[in-house]
């Protein structure tokens, strides 16, 4: 006899893997692409984007504008920490993110560390960011 297969547990595992892939790969690729349109496409229509050192932005158009206005090339390195589900199609992820900022005007760059929290929703079968909150952390966290 085979033990009963728990399909809900398998679905949960798949959703958690999808969340992790979305953050570790899709988000990182979009952020590192320097394409504001690609980056903004990751967000829901009512998204809240709350970075340190800058005003909050709501919705993909405002997020896209802020991405362009930064006037810098960024490169991020993700240190994924955890993810979970609130309910089917609703979850979260957290990570420490190393960010190298290289201004387009060739002024000296800056290396930053953020803790990021994403609240995610599935829309038409695709994970999207509904809320993204960053807090700046000292680089000591990587020593």
Tens digit of each residue's pLDDT (9 = 90 or more) over 2-38: 444 566 677 788 999 999 999 999 999 999 998 999 9
Q: Note the Cα 117 to chain centre separation in Å.
A: 8
Domain segments of the chain as ranges: 7-142
82 Cβ neighbours under 8 A, 6+ residues apart = 93, 94
Residue 40 has pLDDT above 80, yes or no: yes
For residue range 62-105, list pLDDT tens digits in order.
999 998 888 888 999 999 999 999 999 999 999 999 999 998 88
In terms of C-beta density within 10 A (0-12 exposed, 13-18 middle, 19 or more buried), how is residue 19 classed?
buried
Tell me, which fold does domain 7-142 have in CATH? Nuclear Transport Factor 2; Chain: A, (3.10.450)
Length of the chain: 143
């Amino acid at each position: 006899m085979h033990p009963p297969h728990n399909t809900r547990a398998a679905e949960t595992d798949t959703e958690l893997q999808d969340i992790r892939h979305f953050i570790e790969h899709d988000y990182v690729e979009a952020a590192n692409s320097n394409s504001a349109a690609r980056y903004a496409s990751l967000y829901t229509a009512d998204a809240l984007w709350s970075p340190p050192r800058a005003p909050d932005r709501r919705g993909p158009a405002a997020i896209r504008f802020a991405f362009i206005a930064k006037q810098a090339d960024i490169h991020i390195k993700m240190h994924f920490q955890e993810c979970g589900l609130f309910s089917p199609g609703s979850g979260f992820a957290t990570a420490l993110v190393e960010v190298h900022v290289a201004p387009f005007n060739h002024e000296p760059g800056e290396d930053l560390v953020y803790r990021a929290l994403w609240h995610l929703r599935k829309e038409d079968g695709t994970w999207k960011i509904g809320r993204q909150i960053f807090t700046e952390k000292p680089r000591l966290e990587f020593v």
